[in-house]
A and B are shown apart, each in its own frame.
Chain A
Amino acid sequence: MQLSVSSLNFSFPTKVVLRDVSFSAHSGEVFGIVGPNGSGKTTLLRCLRLVLSPQGGAITLDDEDVMTWDRSRIARVFGVVPQSTTLTFPFSVFDVVMMGRIPHLGRFQREGAHDISIVRESMKLTSIDHLFERPISQLSGGELQRVIIARALAQEPRVLLLDEPTSQLDINHQFEVMKLVRSFAIEHNMVVIIISHNLNLSLRYCDRLLLLKDGGVHSCGASDEVLTPDNIREVYGVEAQLDYNKRIGAHQLTLIDAIERD
């Protein structure tokens, strides 16, 4: 399975955000999107699932034109873990994960045994099945993030989009979430696209990366070929060193200093 994006453009009335973005992500790999703040990462993710309507370009999943799909069909294919979730009212973990079934249920159809088993499976995958009765207002940040991931999984998505799922988490939870995400790509054959701020985590857990700069694609390819010291300098203005770490079996960046610009 392959999600392809070609020549995607998007602008707000006063600002061009994405220009001519093209890439494709495959099932079985974790595709990362990196770039500085304001480079258009979140907007790109929103355009992918048509929360924002791109003003040009094409999005296809295998041979299907995603841009012609309605909301409900998009929701059956794209599972999303957004940056933030409002939690004013104390739903139980079970309730929230069950919401992932909404796109699959007819308007007058009740949740059935099939839905329950999918919810159960999703909670197991994210190791929150013991929490199912708890109100989400009582969960820790890591638990909550896994609940939202479980909800996305309950959508039975073919594409999983994650917008900085680790930014609010402690380091140990960051590893957990990234490992979890990787397992979906490989074991469940999903297209997984993840925005990350953490370049070293991206190097370690993403197979390929898209580096955005000012709304355009700076480079795209294997992680260690994208996050080169040259590219880091050009995009972030930071001097960096890329080394292979034998212990973890991945390249890691050492950020040295910001480069003074004029």
Chain B
Amino acid sequence: MKKIVPIGLLIVLLTGLVGGCIGGGPDTTIADELEERPSLSMLVDALTSAGLYDIFGEEGDYTLLAPSNDALESLDERYASDPALLEQILTYHVLEGSYSASKISQSQTLATLQGEDIEVKTTGSLSIGGASVTEQDIECTNGTLHVIDAVLVPPSIEETYIDYTFEDGAGREVTIEKVPERVVSLASSATEVMFAIGAGEKVVGVDKYSTYPEEVASRPNLGSGSSLDMEKLIELEPDLVVIWYFYGDAIENIEQRGINVMAINPASVSDIYDEIELLGTILGFEENAQDVIGDMQARISEITDYVDTIPVEDRPTVFYETSQPFKSLNADTFTGELIEMAGGINIAADEESRYPVLSSEWIIQEDPDVIVVLSYGASVEEIKARSGWGQVSAVANDRVYAVESDLVTSNPRLVLGLEQLAKWFYPEYFE
């Protein structure tokens, strides 16, 4: 919120003081005082249209913190255009009872008619909720009037209207005006993150790949980004849809229906931290998000700290197989990063293709110490039975393992995957 500081602040303050002291008993209402001042004309209009003006012409005892025209003009358009919001904001400027400037200075907070409190700061000059007083202690028959140089917005409204702009995983500029309350997640990673940071209540619909945590099962299933149940999505009235970056068609389609879409593309562990932080920010769970990140970092460094003590040549070589036989992944992939963090030497790390299909004989020659296969790929028995693999160290030493795909992809549970990998790579240390 911008604050306008008039140049002749001191002079105006002095004038007000003198006026207040010299005059005898007040004989005007707050309404009269407002009418007299052209610099408050916009406030009069606003109060009138909100149906609040009349009370200031009647008997009573109020304190009105009157924002000047300049202040009102710089009020955010989103608030100004919404009558309900405007009414809340205006009542936030009214205090029950008459408060002089000196009485205000002695208070920490002021209870407003709107219900929320205003904070008062007296260090240096007097600041009421961040606004400076430009004309104070205008005594009236039904209360006191102070002119201030900024519009005060209730914290509850400010928290909701975050107006946060960022670049999403698909390189699109996304602006979140209001904290989303109904989120559809078409990306399992985001689903898990939202539940992990405690924002699971806001998740009203998920894709078919979102299966964790268990509560997800109770949410409507919308298919996937490539086969989206658009009718159900519209019916759910989400104010935000989170989706994988590669579903370009779905992104466009949802966007065209006026629903905010945010694409995610977490390609590394640090991207996951960013994703958690971002979702924390826009959903209003910053602190939880920081806790989750902190916890992850602590558990990860427990592993990496140990791995750092192992010389590279003593680390186990690893062949990682994805869902398709002989198909591995290189160092530029998410799982590739996890393997390295867990202290494994991925034999396919330097391959040019991100997901290379490797020659059987080359794998035999590389003689991996550990083989990890995605649980829905080939079975462990199948791998052990492969022609010519009997002599491979991992097979000979019975170190072929199947890993749940959810644990080695971009979601907060990657920590579990990492711990699992570390146990397989360094059983004597991590068991």
The answer to whether A and B touch directly, with their CB atoms under 8 angstroms apart, is no
